[in-house]
Structure 1
């Protein structure tokens, strides 16, 4: 680097840019480094320190680190050397040749205390929540009462706060910084197509695809298109020479098409995504309230709020909030409709055993809409059998006197099902073909087939894969990179970047393993089959995902809700059956601890740097604020 004076340097050799201290002959315990580019364009600079000390006469490289010009906390680097150092070199790795930079470096300058208001507020909120939910909190001594105005107000605060938090996640991950691509805009294109009176997308596929015998062969497709000088759009369904959107059409009919007709503009997916998340949050609090009111009336208000928060945090909403694009929306809207439908059906049960037809109808409508969002999630319709088990036995369904009840549930599925089948037939010539197999993706889905051996890999990854941790921020890392899962399976394993299985994201789910011990009590309450069906459905959805695609991080959202619901029921049952005060206290400690861990893990994983949709890439300054201003107490740097 050429010294321009006044602390300014011009980069002449980017591979060896930096500063060197020589003739130190003293112990060094810290390095201060400030770097600034005049145009302020760079968020962070990668830095390496090369040191000598009593045990190293030659330069030895220390771990990679970085300096963030806008964050003073990042400019102070603790070093742990042995004895005195004769010289130290500081290498800055991502400087531009010919560019002038302002550099300032000092040794043993001391680290000042830096006060940040936002950090104080964040810690007050965090410790306030921990204090509110601690096992000794008085909220566990208040019986849940949905008619109590004070409880309703507190519940409303938590619902609104949850929506605000998820909206904040979407804002922080800055979807606008990711640009736009045709894959993510499928719903907007489909809305335009439907408004024009057809179902194919108005984007012309490359001519070379029509000449291929198997256009779904990924490697061959890439080779053919490269030779033809053409490109295709990833994750579009290609059929009979046209592009189609295989993702469920209901979000388009509910959001994109009305918005297009009213404004003439395309709708950002972040908006319907936040609506779907808000619906799920409201449904989660409603579901837990209905469950407690009907089956566990002695449950405390504190447990009601806590378990509602667990269901919200653990069902995979954080992925969708951080990545609000077409991949996330149909799944999130699907589980929201499922939970709303289940809650309606539970609310349809009167104390005298009769049924509220309005709740039957609305619940069926919600779950029927899932067919047009994420078809496999519509398996929730079969929860009608355990929910209405007694009423079915009493001939309130499937009989002349139960005709009205039966029609309330069947009619929405007939109407929406016929519509979905017609839509499929128009596109792909079959009422039962949703088009997913025609996806132009990273493997040939038309020849995916069925292989029992995939279940071993899939169930382990989706359920039991531990986190990968290290003593480097953010301390949690992906267990496998894209298409890089470790296995001896000699076949094609499709996977995207993965972070861990259900039971590590949702340690609260461990209550499932107490199912057998709660069986007798659950049978008395009429919840045994409902609990069992949810677990089975979660595993069935998981199995479908494994066979159809593979190990995909967002697919945890498909089944997590179905596994958390049984865990919540079992936890409530265990708590209710603890008669001795010390036993109840011990069980409460377990529930609170596992709940808090579940909530913390699901939110903390958002700052993982190797996520495909990470803060590190899309909003790096916020990422470094977390590192240097909020979690600096964990750092040994």
Structure 2
């Protein structure tokens, strides 16, 4: 009998015999792409190194008169302007050499000069734009080199520190003109270039992955899907952990300022008092309470209308006693109105085991990974059992935007307790739908139906808006249980009971939870929220729908010519009432071109109807589109227009678009120019959609990494702004 080692050796030899040629071709292509990325890094991304090699550096140290005792030069709140006259020289760049021994911060510099084209300092006017202010990091050498575009000889030079949020003194080691740029091989930039080139190579129209049918080649396709999902999960995890100020986990090398010095890993509170609601609720539950421990101030309990923010703020100023914001206040107690399932899933068990608060960001990460896995499995199920011609390439080309453009990246950007219930709702939804799909062809139908309905029902305890996805049960099960009358059989009745029972069980639990808190089975407590507006009087108003529809769906992105290009979208409305609005970055139909396929839904569904007798896919697509519109407008009416709410409905439209693309793929011949055209269109639509979603992750926002560590963020920006 052969040994394990012999079996492995035989399998390896057989594998190499079959796939040796393919592996060699792929290896050569990958090696070539890595070489191209290396050449780009050396000769393109480092072109400033070569351009500055012949400069004659001028040290302006002898012109600085702010020397301190340790040999550095100090800029203060009073004296923060450097001016150099009678230079009479060409200036290609300036190096502002900050002393290393000082607090890390971003410093904004305003630079002015006179040259052959300007006898006086010039600035922005009605018709021109002057030299823009430039951000420089005191802890980033690459940011300290500033290229100037001058005309002829420069006579005078002025450098001023501007901005209000500056920590003085700012220590300088010197100022240099025409400095030699150092050569820097950035692994981050090189790795990004390699990744983009590999993606372009893998998904080019002529790629072999478009010839691997996932039905006919299940083993190869599963390997490819697993590899792609592994990469996605790794990138998602890295991005979430990158925003370390919101993570709440510390080790000796990560968030080490909050490390306890002994534990391998310890948790700590982030985000302030308002961010600890779930943790406080877990502590209350452990003590047998459903309300928070903190006692509301007496003035709040004595108010006639405690939900009037203006009145609350006035009384808070008068008394000096603070109140908790964004919690439910009812009959003299604070409650958490967010869904209770995340508390039962993460916070309460963690508190009972450790006595510490569960780090919210880790919960967001866990459920984000669950969503990626569930969405991937769900699309795979549709592709394998409803579409026979889907290739690995087409599947991955459509799976990537389903994950990247669904809004979960923005939830990972801000992994707070606001994001967790949405992320939980999305994860439970995709796994519930997957279990329902598995039940259709499974020998253990009752178990899959029960598991699917349990997941879908738990959404009510996370993000109730997402319950509309439960309506997909109608197109998925109508033919089996109604048209074919299986519901009238004993087996069908048992299956329907398994389908309905979890909803009943979860509903009983949630209604009991609501009644125990607010004396009502259906009151989740959102109306009692101490937020920016009086939710008890918000009501429903049709005047809020048009601005919301435009903002959520049609608003074009606002862009500039500076990386990361995206800017907050402007917002105007004729609605003569209060509109709840946070920063958003454009409507999904304007920013995600992959959704443009929805405009052809009627024609594509007609193609499907002529091909198939059943109408399951048609019903699923129509339900997804209608549900997406309903959820978006409900969000606007009940809560407002916020960027994180895009995650409530983006997946619905993306899933519908993917299914429509699967239908189109079925109609196109497997070879020829038509298929090449289809693949090219898919690649362009997906590429632009994913690019938008990626740039959205890098836009600086209040509370994110860019706001907390602006100097570090500036280093990252200047890594990619290699031409500066």
TM-score range, shorter chain: over 0.9
Matches within 5 A, 1:450-461: 450-461=540-551
| CA contact 2:381–2:437 (8 Å) conserved in 1 | yes
Residue deviations 1:494-516 (CA, integer Å, cap 9, x gap): 11111111124422111111101
What corresponds to 1:506 in structure 2? 592
Structure 1 position 419 matched with structure 2 position 419: no
Q: Which segment is superposed worse, 106-115 or 311-320? A: 106-115
| CA contact 2:110–2:134 (8 Å) conserved in 1 | yes
2:88 aligned counterpart, secondary structure:
strand
Matches within 5 A, 1:586-625: 586-609=677-700, 611-625=701-715
Residue ranges of structure 2 left out of the alignment (5+ in a row)? 1-64, 124-130, 249-254, 256-268
Equivalent-residue separation in structure 1 for 2:703 and 2:179 (angstroms):
38
CA displacement at 1:419 relative to structure 2: 0.7
Structure 1 position 487 matched with structure 2 position 573: yes
CA displacement at 1:448 relative to structure 2: 0.6
CA displacement at 1:406 relative to structure 2: 0.9
What corresponds to 2:14 in structure 1? none
Structure 2 length-normalised TM = 0.83
Match 1:464 to one of 540, 554, 561: 554
Equivalent-residue separation in structure 2 for 1:592 and 1:33 (angstroms):
44
Matches within 5 A, 1:449-598: 449-480=539-570, 485-523=571-609, 524=612, 526=615, 527-579=617-669, 581-598=672-689
CA displacement at 1:399 relative to structure 2: 5.9
Matches within 5 A, 1:225-624: 225-350=316-441, 356-391=445-480, 392-397=482-487, 400-480=490-570, 485-523=571-609, 524=612, 526=615, 527-579=617-669, 581-609=672-700, 611-624=701-714
Residue ranges of structure 1 left out of the alignment (5+ in a row)? none
- The structure with the larger Rg is 2
Distance 1:179 1:355, change over 3 A: closer
Distance 1:127 1:241, change over 3 A: same
CA displacement at 1:276 relative to structure 2: 0.4
1:135 aligned counterpart, secondary structure:
coil
Distance 1:5 1:401, change over 3 A: closer
2:96 aligned counterpart, secondary structure:
strand
Equivalent-residue separation in structure 2 for 1:293 and 1:194 (angstroms):
45
CA displacement at 1:320 relative to structure 2: 1.6
What corresponds to 1:632 in structure 2? 721
Distance 1:164 1:211, change over 3 A: same
CA displacement at 1:340 relative to structure 2: 0.8
What corresponds to 1:42 in structure 2? 104
What corresponds to 1:171 in structure 2? 241
1:421 aligned counterpart, secondary structure:
helix
CA displacement at 1:199 relative to structure 2: 0.9
1:253 aligned counterpart, secondary structure:
helix
CA displacement at 1:403 relative to structure 2: 0.9
Match 2:145 to one of 63, 76, 88: 76
Equivalent-residue separation in structure 2 for 1:612 and 1:37 (angstroms):
27
1:488 aligned counterpart, secondary structure:
coil
Equivalent-residue separation in structure 2 for 1:223 and 1:92 (angstroms):
38
Residue deviations 1:195-246 (CA, integer Å, cap 9, x gap): 1112111111111111111111111111122222211111100011100000
Equivalent-residue separation in structure 2 for 1:4 and 1:226 (angstroms):
44
Residue deviations 1:97-140 (CA, integer Å, cap 9, x gap): 87461332222334444222332122112221222122221101
Structure 1 length-normalised TM = 0.94
Equivalent-residue separation in structure 2 for 1:337 and 1:234 (angstroms):
28
Equivalent-residue separation in structure 2 for 1:8 and 1:263 (angstroms):
49
Distance 1:255 1:5, change over 3 A: closer
What corresponds to 1:155 in structure 2? 225
CA displacement at 1:37 relative to structure 2: 5.0
Distance 1:202 1:142, change over 3 A: same
Equivalent-residue separation in structure 2 for 1:355 and 1:521 (angstroms):
34
Structure 1 position 27 matched with structure 2 position 82: no
Residue deviations 1:505-555 (CA, integer Å, cap 9, x gap): 422111111101112233325211110000000111111101001111100
Equivalent-residue separation in structure 2 for 1:461 and 1:96 (angstroms):
35
1:2 aligned counterpart, secondary structure:
coil
Equivalent-residue separation in structure 2 for 1:146 and 1:331 (angstroms):
37
| CA contact 1:37–1:100 (8 Å) conserved in 2 | no
What is the root-mean-square deviation in Å for CA atoms of aligned residues? 2.1
1:46 aligned counterpart, secondary structure:
strand
2:146 aligned counterpart, secondary structure:
strand
CA displacement at 1:147 relative to structure 2: 6.9
Equivalent-residue separation in structure 1 for 2:68 and 2:109 (angstroms):
21
What corresponds to 2:252 in structure 1? none
